[in-house]
Amino acid sequence: MKHLPISLIWGAALSLFFVLVAALSLIWVPYDVTSLSIADRLQTASAEHWLGTDQFGRDLLSMLMVGARTSIAVALVAVGIGIVIGVPLGLTAAANRGSLLDEVIMRGNDLIFAFPSLVIAILITAVFGPSAINAIIAIGIFNIPVFARVARGGALSLWTLDYILAARVAGKGKARISAEHILPNLGNLLIVQATIQFSLGILAEAALSYVGLGAQPPTPSWGRMLAEAQTMIYTHPMLAILPGVTIILMVLGLNLMGDGLRDALDPRLRRARQ
């Protein structure tokens, strides 16, 4: 494994860093993020508060750490929804290529793509009330067609291969072939796509909580930190800059990892690189 792409190494390192920070926030944060302390408000970076405090006296580093947990949890579960529902749909469509079922699944996919995702997300959170769970559902729904399409596309090319024919001759049914022979070979494709959707999920969560439709106070989230910083941006720009840079680094890490994984896992590209 000498020839790992640089983007993969950097991306994985960045992503791992944020995951570790989020995990750490479960057992330890420098300060409690739910208690307000007006006496400590708007401090600049110091030995006590490494990144300073916000207008309510909360420690920014602690807020960012817990915010990482919120973002990652929301995006991860949303990706999970997309995989758990989307992949079986895509496999079913591929196994019954050209049938009415295939047509219905794929047209259904197109239809979801046609909906303005942010508008529907806002609508869903308006219907069921703003919360992290509803943000997950809103983001997750739009992951379903993505994974269905990727799974179907990958599966279609696998279905033409000889070993699938051998499995059919052996008397295996479509569902069993899909589960035993197609799915394991789609791993690479799905991992790359999951990384990309994960990073899009982080951005979507930030956008939703920025407009007040994500995780609710007192749970810190990067998007709401930005929204709260907006009125303070003229006097205390760092309050807005820090969460923004954090989001960028997390998304950048995931995107680099996705790109690197695709390069490392795609034999066509690997040959081209050597």
Partner 1 sequence: MIRASPLWSNRGLLSNVTSMLRYIFKRALSLSLSLVVASFVIFFLIEVIPGDTASFMLGLNATEQAVANLRADLGLDGTALQRYLSWTGGMLQGDFGISYTYRVPVSELILDRLWVSLPLAGFALLLSTAIAFPIGLIAAANRGRAADYGIIGGTQLGIAVPNFWFAMLLVLVFAVKLQWFSAGGFPGWSNPAAALKALVLPSIALALPQAAILARVMRSALIETLSQDYIRTARAKGLSRRQAVLRHALRNALIPVLTIIGLQFSFLLAGAIIIENVFFLPGLGRLIFQGITQRDLIVVESVTMLLVFAVILVTFLVDIAYAIADPRLRRR
> Is residue 124 a contact point for partner 1 (CB under 8 A)?
yes
Tokens matching residue 41: 């408000």
Contact 14, 266 (CB under 8 A): no
CB contact burial 217-251 (16+ within 10 A = b; e otherwise): eebbbbbbbbbbbeeeeeebebbbebbeebbeebb
Q: Alpha-carbon distance 254 to 15, whole Å?
A: 6
Helix axes 187-210, 238-265, angle to 10 degrees: 170
**Other Cβ atoms closer than 10 A to 88:** 17
The one-letter amino acid at 181: H
- The residue within the footprint of partner 1, chosen from 114, 162, 267, 271 (CB under 8 A), is 114
Q: CB under 8 A: which stretch of 36-44, 58-66, 106-114, 130-138 binds partner 1? A: 106-114
Q: Per CB under 8 A, which region of 35-43, 64-72, 124-132, 185-193 contacts partner 1?
A: 124-132
CB 223 to partner 1: min, Å: 8
Q: Is 73 in the site for partner 1 (CB under 8 A)?
A: no
Q: CB 35 → partner 1: shortest distance, Å? A: 27
Binding residues among 230-259 for partner 1 as defined by CB under 8 A: 230, 233-234, 237, 240-241, 243-244, 247-249, 251-252, 255-256, 259
Closer to partner 1 by Cβ: residue 73 or 122: 122
Q: How far is CA 161 from the centre of its chain?
A: 32
CA separation, residue 207 to residues 14, 55, 225, 239 (Å): 21, 21, 11, 17
Q: Is 98 left (phi over 0), alpha (psi -120 to 50) or beta?
A: left
Instruction: Candidates 150, 207, 215, 261: give the one binding partner 1 (CB under 8 A).
Output: 207
Does residue 269 belong to the site contacting partner 1 (CB under 8 A)? Answer: no
Instruction: With contacts defined by CB under 8 A, name the span among 27-35, 83-91, 104-112, 261-269 that binds partner 1.
Output: 104-112
Chain residues binding partner 1 by CB under 8 A are 107, 110-111, 113-116, 118-120, 122-124, 126-127, 199, 203, 206-207, 210-211, 226, 230, 233-234, 237, 240-241, 243-244, 247-249, 251-252, 255-256, 259
